[in-house]
């Protein structure tokens, strides 16, 4: 399962360099007052990790990039099973210096696009007014690198701006943190936030 992979302990060099690459798309859901009530999360995995998952499960043996209905059903939710304590699903929301809680994941389907597994799930939230929301998709351990590639569903009058991290600065900060701990405490080191894309939501004042 993905959560176990993301939380796996690794040597310091492995922790500084991701082993799984995921493109992330977020589609927000709103109520009739324009408040956010949920978010649909799409994870598009890299070719190599997708191959490992399919091979391990004996799926798509001919490599034609197609899954049978039975294979899709068996694969659905493969990355959502038994999230362990401490794993927040790779998605963090804050507003006015407070964390926004998200509900447990609800699997919405999985497909194979080319050689890449694409899975979708939904998480409830709020309701929360969108103005001032800050969203960061990332793996704290940085075993997986998440890249925010698409955002949709924000209510009228609101727009999101995505800022990518300065990777040189992130690497320097990560190295400083890892250099401060002993090898037996690597499990406590979380450097993924330094590499996180940041979505900031701004809304026009209501008239």
If pLDDT is split at 50, 70 and 90, which confidence band does 7 have?
A: very low
The pLDDT of residue 173? 82
pLDDT digits (tens, 9 = 90+) for 12-34: 444 457 889 999 999 999 999 99
- How many angstroms from the chain centroid is the CA of residue 168? 22
User: Would you list the domain boundaries of the chain?
Assistant: 2-203
Model confidence band, residue 188 (pLDDT cutoffs 50, 70, 90): low
Q: What is the pLDDT of residue 161?
A: 96
Q: How confident is the model at residue 11 (pLDDT cuts 50, 70, 90)?
A: very low
What is the model's pLDDT at position 45?
96
Task: Look at the pTM and tell me if it is higher than 0.75.
Answer: yes
What are the angstrom distances between the C-alpha of 47 and each of 20, 23, 69, 113, 123?
10, 11, 21, 10, 26
For range 28-42, the mean pLDDT:
96
pLDDT confidence of residue 10: 42
As a whole number of angstroms, the distance between CA 137 and CA 199 comes to: 9
């Amino acid at each position: 399962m993905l959560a176990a992979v993301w939380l796996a302990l690794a040597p310091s060099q492995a922790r500084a360099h991701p082993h799984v690459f995921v493109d992330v798309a977020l589609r927000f859901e709103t109520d009739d007052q324009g408040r956010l009530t949920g978010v649909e999360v799409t994870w598009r995995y890299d070719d190599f990790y997708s191959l490992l998952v399919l091979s391990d499960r004996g799926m798509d043996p001919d490599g034609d990039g197609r899954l049978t209905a039975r294979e899709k059903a068996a694969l659905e939710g493969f990355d959502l099973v038994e999230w362990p304590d401490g794993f927040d699903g790779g998605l963090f929301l804050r507003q006015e210096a407070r964390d926004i809680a998200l509900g447990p994941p609800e699997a919405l389907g999985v497909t194979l696009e080319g050689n890449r597994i694409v899975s979708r799930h939904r998480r409830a939230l709020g309701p929360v007014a969108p103005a001032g929301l800050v969203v960061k998709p990332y793996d704290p351990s940085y075993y997986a690198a998440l890249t925010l590639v698409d955002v949709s569903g924000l209510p009228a009058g609101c727009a999101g701006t995505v800022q990518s991290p300065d990777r040189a600065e992130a690497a320097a900060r990560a190295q400083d943190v890892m250099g401060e701990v002993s090898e037996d405490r690597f499990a406590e080191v979380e450097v993924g936030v330094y590499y996180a894309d940041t979505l900031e939501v701004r809304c026009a004042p209501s008239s």
